[in-house]
Amino acid sequence: MKVFYNPVQKTHILTHEIIAGKRYRHHEKKARLENILKHLRAAKRFDVCIPDALPIEAVLAVHDEGYIRFLESSQMLSKEEVIWPYTFPNDRRLSIREPVTVFTAGYYCFDVGTPIMSDTYIAAMASASGAYAAARHVLETGEACYALARPPGHHAASALFGGYCYINNAAIAAKYLSQKGRVLIIDFDFHHGNGTQSIFYNSNEVFYYSIHGDPSIEYPYFSGFAEEKGIGEGLGFNLNIPIEPMVGAAEYLGEFKEGLNQILKRFDPKYIVCSCGFDVAEGDPLGHFALTPEHFYELGTTIKSLGKPVTLIQEGGYLVDRLGVNVHAFLSAFL
């Protein structure tokens, strides 16, 4: 299996984050990449390669140009500077005063746990280039393909970053594939992909399906509820299955399969893009489900059984010591 990954993704170094007013060591760290790569290379069944540069047109197909210019401006920071957004506009009717700089980052941010640094833009673009390359490979060959994306992407909206995400990798892949046929995005990260939902909320070409921790008590809190069905042409092309924390793995997998059955009765995708969040694993510090490697293999088998070309894109997963084992178990289902 092809695996797309660029070492530049490791330059985005996060030290700490603020959760509910308290300081913690940051969970989104480069060790996540290193643990996954170690296990995939040891398996000797994966071809790890560096993707080509990402065309800016592919990024602007899902992201606002002013927002991307803002992210790009972060390269002007010194290596020591870290920008934490801490003021946010409370009236979206007000116009954005150009140019937005990293010091007014609240224009484009929805939380205080996602800092901007000098290497943030290049790392996020490198991450997105892997997702785009994977989608191209799937389109050309029909083979399942995996993008080892970090930073992750599914919380990033057209002009918003947060949840450790800056550029929406899955949205870029799905938008590219949608030029050739309808796309189903399957998102099994523990946290709802509010950014991906927002980007495709009025689209009937891309169906967004997410199964996640109940947002009434879990991040991102303001989206991911069952009544969110889409708007306009996208009405009926969005399905959220929020689940109470600590649900058993068997019940989780049952809910996941039932959701797929509902979708496939009325939507026949040509391609599948999968936002793979391994924070649903047993023991993950940011998730509260309990999937083991055996459950991840079953999850992969279920997706493969749909018989569609699949682009697999890494999202969350913060139990670093077990991350590579869980990712390998999931990907093995597609080999």
| 16: annotated active-site residue | no
Cis status, amide bond into 115, omega within 30 of 0: no
The β-bridge relationship of strands 16-19 and 22-25 is antiparallel
- Above 70 in pLDDT, residue 308? yes
Mean pLDDT on 184-208:
98
In the DSSP assignment, the letter for residue 308 is S
213 touches 277 (CB < 8 A):
no
* Architecture (CATH level 2) of domain 2-332: 3-Layer(aba) Sandwich (3.40)
- Above 80 in pLDDT, residue 335? yes
What are the structural domain ranges in the chain? 2-332
pLDDT category of residue 90 using cuts at 50, 70 and 90: confident
* Cβ atoms within 10 Å of 290's Cβ, excluding its own: 17
What pLDDT, on a 0 to 100 scale, did the predictor assign at position 19?
76
What pLDDT, on a 0 to 100 scale, did the predictor assign at position 55?
96
Range with lowest mean pLDDT among 123-127, 151-155, 195-199, 246-250: 246-250
pLDDT 10s digits, 159-183: 999 999 999 999 999 999 999 999 9
- What is the C-alpha separation between 30 and 8, in angstroms, rounded? 10
What pLDDT, on a 0 to 100 scale, did the predictor assign at position 204?
97
Q: Give me the chain's average pLDDT, please.
A: 94
Q: Tell me the residue type at 170.
A: A
Mean pLDDT on 97-119:
85
What pLDDT, on a 0 to 100 scale, did the predictor assign at position 112?
86
Number of residues that this document lists for the chain: 335
Mean pLDDT on 11-25:
83
Q: Catalytic pick from 155, 212, 288, 295?
A: 155
What pLDDT, on a 0 to 100 scale, did the predictor assign at position 211?
98
Half-sphere exposure of 8 (CA within 13 A, CB side): 20
pLDDT 10s digits, 127-153: 999 999 999 999 999 999 999 999 999
Range with lowest mean pLDDT among 13-27, 48-62, 144-158: 13-27
In the sheet where 310-314 sits, what is the strand order? 47-49, 2-4, 145-147, 310-314, 271-276, 183-187, 206-213, 238-243
* Cβ atoms within 10 Å of 24's Cβ, excluding its own: 12
Question: 53: helix, coil or strand?
Answer: coil
What pLDDT, on a 0 to 100 scale, did the predictor assign at position 4?
98
pLDDT category of residue 103 using cuts at 50, 70 and 90: confident
Q: Tell me the residue type at 285.
A: P
pTM of the entire predicted model: 0.96
pLDDT category of residue 99 using cuts at 50, 70 and 90: low
259 touches 297 (CB < 8 A):
no
What pLDDT, on a 0 to 100 scale, did the predictor assign at position 162?
96
Q: What sign has the CA pseudo-torsion 22, 28, 30, 32?
A: positive
Range with lowest mean pLDDT among 87-101, 225-239, 257-271: 87-101
DSSP string, 158-183: TTBBBTTBSS-HHHHHHHHHTTTS-E
Range with lowest mean pLDDT among 225-234, 243-252, 280-289: 243-252
Give residue 20's region: left, alpha or beta (phi > 0; psi -120 to 50): left
Mean pLDDT on 30-59:
97
Between residues 26 and 57, the one the model is more confident about: 57
- Above 70 in pLDDT, residue 108? yes
